[in-house]
Amino acid sequence: MLNGEKMLFSGMQATGRLTIGNYIGALRNWVTLSDEYTCLFSVVDEHSITVRQDPAELRSRARALLSLYIAAGLDPEKNIIYYQSHVSAHAELAWILNCYTYMGELQRMTQFKDKSAKHADNINAGLFTYPVLMAADILLYQTDVVPVGSDQLQHLELARDIAIRFNNVYGDVFTVPEPYVGKVGAKIQSLQDPLKKMSKSDENENASIYLTDDRDTVLRKFKRAVTDNEACVRYSEAQPGIRNLITIYSAVTGKTPEEVEKEFAGRGYGEFKLAVGEAVADTLAPIQKKQAELLADKAYLDGIIKTNAERAEHLAIKTLRKVQKKVGFPERPR
């Protein structure tokens, strides 16, 4: 806790391309949360290698993601925005926490089962112990709150269990983190299959709107979005495709679904899709412009990366040294 503010930690993997769903559901909310908490926002590149990555591509995507954090409105002086791999304490604490985590707990993780099925040729130990590294990410900074989606809630519960278990043995070492409960970002579905979540790794290019898509691409994808044959812009469970488009339009314009229904009463799907596409393209344009400026200024971005890694490490080392002493590792000579 710094200056009396509670600590918040969150991060994203440097794999795939961020979608409008990632922006609406998480990134945009981070900007709001940064006014309420002392925040660490990490590019969790160590998590990314549980699946084989092209090294050059991973480096490029990590830099692009970090620049997107800033372009979306996160202040790198007010917040700590950094690469996970630049703070070695993440991996060091993860090893210690591995020794306080039970096999049965990890075997119950649904994400391990899902990813094992998708990557049957590479079921590695890192994929299995991924939740312990996530616990280390969180506990390292004495994190009070963690904004998580439903797919990561099980991992946060494990982090809490590990913290409580460790504290029961060694005293009050870790802050036990709470899930962030507050305004939840809208859940954005696939444009081609509105019954499933929009994904940054979808094989169908037309299913997702990426934050780097240019205006023509955005308009084309919305034009091809799946709807239905009712020819009525209505926010209804019976119309998942149109409901999803209304959700997106509401999120980027600030209008309620009821206001959207009134705005497009008696108007066709083609007109509505175009309006949604234009509203999304207008939202993305300033983010894309800012990101391009950041990536073009190598010295400035490198400075942010170096300074923020040092800030994160300063906080992390405090916890790591305390943990190392508690478990009995020899102290370092001063």
> How many CB atoms neighbour CB 258 within 10 A?
11
Amino acid in position 85: S
What does 268-302 look like in DSSP terms, one character per residue?
-HHHHHHHHHHHHHHHHHHHHHHHHHHHH-HHHHH
Helix or strand holding residue 30 (H, E): helix 28-33
Q: d(Cα 188, Cα 181) in Å, to the nearest integer?
A: 19
Q: d(Cα 138, Cα 121) in Å, to the nearest integer?
A: 30
Amino acid in position 138: I
Choose, from 6, 200, 223, 290, the residue flagged as catalytic: 200
Q: Is 221 in the active site?
A: no
Choose, from 6, 78, 113, 115, the residue flagged as catalytic: 115
Tokens encoding 58: 């991973």
HSE at residue 149, side-chain half, CA atoms within 13 A, is 16
Q: Which residues pair with 42 in a beta bridge?
A: 11, 82
Q: Is 196 in the active site?
A: no
Are the C-beta atoms of residues 192 and 243 closer than 8 Å to each other?
no
Length of the chain: 334
What is the rounded (10 degree) CA torsion for 211, 212, 216, 221?
A: -50
Q: Is 197 in the active site?
A: yes
Whose CA is closest to 101, among 53, 67, 134?
A: 134
> How many CB atoms neighbour CB 154 within 10 A?
15
Choose, from 6, 183, 187, 197, the residue flagged as catalytic: 197
Annotated catalytic residues are: 115, 197, 200
